[in-house]
Amino acid sequence: MSTKHLQGLIAAPFTPMNPDGSINTNLVPAYYNMLKANNVTGAFICGSTGEGVSITAAEKKQVMEAWAACSKNDAEFTVMPLLGGTSIKDCKELAVYAKSIGLDAISFTAPFYFKPADVNMLADACFEIASTVPDMPFYYYHIPVLTGVNFSMIDLLKAIDGKILNFAGIKYTHEDFMDFLSCTLYAKGKYDMLWGRDENMLPALAVGAKGAVGSTYNYAAPLYHNLIDAFNKGDLQKAQQLQEQSIDMIRLLGKYGGIATGKAYMKLIGVDCGEFRLPVKNMNAEQFILFKKDTERINFSSFCSLKPV
C-alpha cells in the first residue's frame, strides 16, 4: 500500500462539549469550515486535545461520524482519529468503524497502564490493530510525556518494517531531534513523520519535518503558516521571531492550568467548545478575564485563526 506523506498544518481539534458535559457534534461543521478557511489540511481527532482518553468508545464514534460527514467529499482534508491506547479490543472495533464511515487513516498510542515491556511488544500491539484494516494507513502516536512509554521510534520502525504493510508513519510528540531525524531518513524516507510539538516547529523544520499535528493550529494557524513561509524563504530571523510568538502564546497554557486553556483561546476566536471533563481543571470567570488581558499583551488577535463569517 502506498501512503502519501501529509504536509502542512493538521489541527488536533478539541471535542466540543455542551454545558452538561455531553458531546456537541452540532459544532463540528462550523469547526471544519473554520479550519478550512485557515488553510489547515486535516484533523487529528479524539487525541490528547480532543479528550480521547476521557470520552467513551460510543462517543468517539459520534465524533468520527461528525467529522466524516463534513469531509467526505474533501480529498484535500485528512481526518484521522486516535483510537485509544489501553483496550486493544476497543481500538480494533473503532478502527473497523473508522474505515466503514470513510475516514482517511487511524492512529494508536502506547498502552499506558499495562505498558509494553519492550519495543517488540509495542510493535505487536500495533500489528494487532493495523491488521484489522490492512488497506487503511496506520500511524503510531508517540507522546511519552503522557504515556510513560519512551522507546526510540527508530527502533519501532525497524521492528515493524516489512511486517505492518499499512504502517504509514508516526505522530511524533517528543523533543528527541536525533531520533526524529533518524526516523525521517529511515528506509529512504519511507515513513511519514508528523511533528507534534508546536513550540519546537522551527528546529523540526530544520531536520526535515513537512507536516505537523498540533493543538495551537486550531486557533493560531496564520502564525505557523508565516513561520513555515519564512523558513522556506531562508529568513531565519523572522522565523525565530514567529516561533517566539508561538512560545509566548503557549506559555499562557501553563500559566492558566494547562490543556483546558486551549478552549479559552477557542472562545476568543468565536468557537466555543465548552469545557474539559474531569479531572482536567478549567479556568473560572475571573481567570478568563486575566487570561484575555494576557492575550492582548502578546497581541494574539494579530495572528489568531479567523472564524468564517
Catalytic site positions: 141, 171
Asked if 219 and 262 touch (Cβ cutoff 8 Å), the reply is: yes
**In which residue are the cell numbers 484575555 written?**
292
Asked if 307 and 270 touch (Cβ cutoff 8 Å), the reply is: yes
End-to-end Cα distance, the chain: 40
Which residues of 22-73 form beta strands (DSSP E)?
A: 42-45
Quickly count: other Cβ atoms within 10 Å of residue 184's Cβ. 22
Chain centre distance of CA 54: 16
Q: Calculate ∠ Cα 166-168-170, nearest 5°.
A: 135
Pairing of strands 106-109, 138-142: parallel
Q: Calculate ∠ Cα 67-147-130, nearest 5°.
A: 55
Q: Which of 238, 234, 276, 236 is nearest to 257 (CA)?
A: 276
Q: Calculate ∠ Cα 68-167-204, nearest 5°.
A: 85
Asked if 143 and 85 touch (Cβ cutoff 8 Å), the reply is: no
Helix (H, G, I), strand (E, B) or coil at 126: helix
State how far the Cα of 78 lies from the Cα of 95, in Å rounded to an integer. 16
State how far the Cα of 184 lies from the Cα of 25, in Å rounded to an integer. 36
Cell matching residue 51: 479528550
- Sign of the Cα torsion 256, 258, 263, 269 reads positive
